[in-house]
Structure 1
Amino acid sequence: MVKASWAEVTATCVQNCFRKAGFADVGADADPEASEEDHSGSDLWQRVVDSDMGGRDICWDDFVMADDDADTAEPCTDEGIVNEVHGKSDSEESDDDDDETLEPAPTSHCNTAMEKPNER
């Protein structure tokens, strides 16, 4: 379902979102329906360099692919899958030897605070 939703998002929609958020410096005469082919790689790279997001010592391909190998989620392991299926979390496993129960906080302060507005 998520994949299908993302597949329906157009490039124009993403461009408009970036424009509205102020990420894109676009003049009033810009065509919002313009295709991606309007911008060459060198034009985009020059904008990146001018905005100090990329240094002159790296190339366009390195900049664009910088996050390709970045981990965006915890690695999936057999042990992690088993724990998830059984409903165990890391905090439950580490708290096995700690059986003390927490006492509820006293409510007298809450009752006093609730009575104060009624006195006005």
Structure 2
Amino acid sequence: MDSKVEEEVPVHEEFVQCGGVETLVIKCGHWTDLSNDQGVNRPETLLLIIPGERKLLDPNAQEIKDIYGLHGQVQHKIAFLRTQVPKDMKLILIGHSVASYMILQILKYAPELPVSMP
């Protein structure tokens, strides 16, 4: 008799401050804090999906100029990657529509990020 083991992957949401903006982050996996978790459960690679829509929660955000514009969104993603993702973690960035353009701009303005190109 075949027995199948199904493991549920935990999903949780949290808000982080990034560039003066409350930013929603949805995480899948058994870790909660990439920067502080140095254990065996810490992933080697981070898969980051950047949505095509540009929605932010704090209309009073001032740290990033033009936070609602395309350039401001790119700067916000770069700030997020620099502050929330450890420097030694491999990154895979996925985006659709305008997010694909944002990823190209991230690579242009932040070449130090550990993103691999296929």
Range of TM-score over shorter length? under 0.3
- Structure number with the higher helix fraction is 1
TM score, norm. by length of structure 1: 0.17
> Given the two structures, how large is their TM-score scaled by the length of structure 2?
0.17
Higher RCO (Cα < 8 Å, 6 or more apart): 2
Larger of the two Rg values belongs to structure: 1
